[in-house]
Amino acid sequence: MTLEEHLAVPYVLRMESVARPDGDWVRRALYPELPGCVAEADSPLEAIERLEQSRVQYIVERLERGEPIPVPRPPLQGAPPALDSDRLGFTRWLVDQKRLSEDV
């Protein structure tokens, strides 16, 4: 599989709110099918953005080393590219305009 095909695999994304040891709550996003792909942030959008960066890095590094990458389902055909700053920027605009809530 090519890098683009690996990036088009629809992995399950799980989001949860967790308490840190200091008592502050954060949003944790993870891909349970990709070991180690976990990100935490104050907002769900920021956690997803960090998680996407982690997913791309995970896939690229394993491809470079020739290691296997979990492929639990086939890549989506004609899938949009991975989340980028423009797409996330639009989502942030929706939150700023109060058309979308970032509360979980």
Identify the H or E element spanning 96. helix 85-96
For 93, how many CA atoms within 13 A lie in the half-sphere containing its CB? Answer: 6
Identify the H or E element spanning 50. helix 44-65
The structure tokens listed for 75 are 């890549």
The structure tokens listed for 47 are 């956690």
Pairing relationship of beta strands 38-41 and 25-30 according to DSSP bridges: antiparallel
For residue range 43-92, list pLDDT tens digits in order: 999 999 999 999 999 999 999 999 999 999 999 987 555 556 665 666 66
Q: Tell which CATH classification among 3.40.50.300, 3.40.50.1860, 3.40.190.10, 3.30.160.250 matches the domain 3-96.
A: 3.30.160.250
pTM over 0.85: no
